[in-house]
Structure 1
């Protein structure tokens, strides 16, 4: 009988420990879910601005020395944000390069922003330069702020609306579909 009581006490203690650990794991998962929802601290759970929203004001210089600003973007333009440390960016890059090469207007209608250290970004810049005007900036740079880009890769289509404002026309560009002239 004392052996049965000891065994039941042990099993009860293990069940209680399991319950405490499970509650701890659930609490931690909720914290992580909340952190992921607050990407970039914005609290809106979005990776960038969405369809219909106006692009913020920016000025930047491409790796070729060309000056760009919001007012200089004309026509429909593909805008992409990549990071050299981002695994999904590396996976999407070949499809992006193929898609960008098919766009009407060529590289003048493609703007790629590489977010991160210039030295670490060199290989990515070399791949993007033939099909896009490329800008390298640190995190929270002018373009990232203008497009509210907080996750990578981010692919957007922008164009002027009826009032002449530069707005997002597509916030989930599908790279598998060829561009149509």
Structure 2
């Protein structure tokens, strides 16, 4: 009887130690994940609402030079897409449709794959910039995730931003 009781007590002790060690490992993995992703509390995937868009200069696919002044003509929708993003291509046609009624700028980050499919989906936008990852427009908007959409006011300040187009589309029409 005492041997059985001793075995149960030893097993309970081992389970308790295992729980403590597992909790420590989970905490360390979460810290590591935050550091690796560069995320901190309050992390933003791009410029925060209310922030002014810094200056940038880029060339569109038609050879036109665009800069931050393009954002001063009224409320402008700016969309960032990446060729390495699986959800970017499906959202491109909706962005192009919205661009028919709202001034817009589409920026395609050409990653490891060619930007042809995204360019074709965004042709109706009119102003499409294809740049390397970390290009001048993406840097100006501090883009850290794709797809990412911004609604920019005539004063060059971000009115709203997000990964979904519908809320921004409703704001642009209001």
TM-score under structure 2 length normalisation: 0.79
Q: Equivalents in 2 of 1:122, 1:24: separation in Å?
A: 44
Q: Equivalents in 2 of 1:66, 1:176: separation in Å?
A: 26
Q: Equivalents in 2 of 1:9, 1:91: separation in Å?
A: 57
What's 2:18 paired with?
A: 17
TM-score under structure 1 length normalisation: 0.77
- SS in structure 1 opposite 2:157? strand
Structure 1 residue runs of 4+, over 6 Å off? Answer: none
CA apart distance, 1:36? 4.8
- SS in structure 2 opposite 1:55? coil
The answer on whether the counterparts of 1:63 and 1:136 sit within 8 Å (CA) in structure 2 is yes
Is structure 2 residue 95 aligned with structure 1 residue 100? no
- SS in structure 2 opposite 1:177? helix
Deviation track 1:47-105 (CA, whole Å, cap 9, x = no partner) reads 222333221111111112111112344332211111122234245334323322332xx
The answer on whether the counterparts of 1:99 and 1:178 sit within 8 Å (CA) in structure 2 is no
Q: Equivalents in 1 of 2:63, 2:132: separation in Å?
A: 17
The answer on whether the counterparts of 1:102 and 1:178 sit within 8 Å (CA) in structure 2 is no
Q: For this pair of structures, how many residues does the alignment match?
A: 169
1:43-62 aligned within 5 A: 45-62=43-60
The answer on whether the counterparts of 1:48 and 1:150 sit within 8 Å (CA) in structure 2 is yes
Of residues 165, 177, 180, the one that matches 2:170 is: 177
CA RMSD of aligned residues (A): 2.8
The answer on whether the counterparts of 1:78 and 1:155 sit within 8 Å (CA) in structure 2 is yes
Query: Would the alpha carbon gap of residues 118 and 59 (structure 1) be closer, same or farther in structure 2, given more than 3 Å must change?
Result: farther
